[in-house]
Copies of this chain bind each other. A is one copy, B any other.
Amino acid sequence: MAQPRWLDDEEQRVWRTFLTATQLLFERLDRALVRDGGMPHAYYEILVRLSEAPDRTLRMSQLAQRCLSSRSRLSHAAARLEERGWIRRQACPTDRRGLLAVLTDDGFAALAAAAPGHVEAVRTYLFDPLTAAQVRALGRISEAVLVGLGEDEAVPLGDDAPGGR
């Protein structure tokens, strides 16, 4: 990148404000979730995705994709969630390489206990400060960014780099 296209003053200001706002927002939400729900957001995400799946069950790979998580991260997290008794891993009948992650009743209960507070926090810190028009704009902006990220080839999220045999 010999001649980068630098940011002009307004872009610089928008970028810094955006960075600050999102960092503080996620920090605030995560902290509230740990305090009131007893879990970090990464765990919450896993429970949510499983709760939405048929039979509250997903292949580990599918789950990782939906959580925007690397396989490795999910493996470690799943081990800890299993210790807590919130999920269970069992052999996949159709593919002997595979594992099915299943949300247990305890896991569902933990999610049900955490969800109201988390939703309330998202509303308080994200939606309440915005007008309806800004909410719509944020939706379109996020979609545009997402499209921009996708165009550049679908990077499969860390992990699984060169390795193999």
Contacts and interface: CB of A to CB of B under 8 A. Distances in A.
B145 A11 contact: no
A71 to B, nearest CB: 15
Q: Within the oligomer, what is the number of copies of this chain?
A: 2
Interface in A119-148: 119-120, 122-130, 134-148
Contacts of A21: 141-143, 145-146, 149
Given A28-B155, A148-B125, A148-B129, A139 B20 contact: no
A14 interface: yes
A112 to B, nearest CB: 12
A126 B22 CA distance: 14
* Highest count of chain B CB atoms <10 Å: which of A2, A4, A26, A124: A4
A161 B148 CA distance: 41
A129 B151 CA distance: 10
B148 A10 contact: no
A15 to B, nearest CB: 6
A117 to B, nearest CB: 5
B129 A144 contact: yes
A127 B148 CA distance: 10
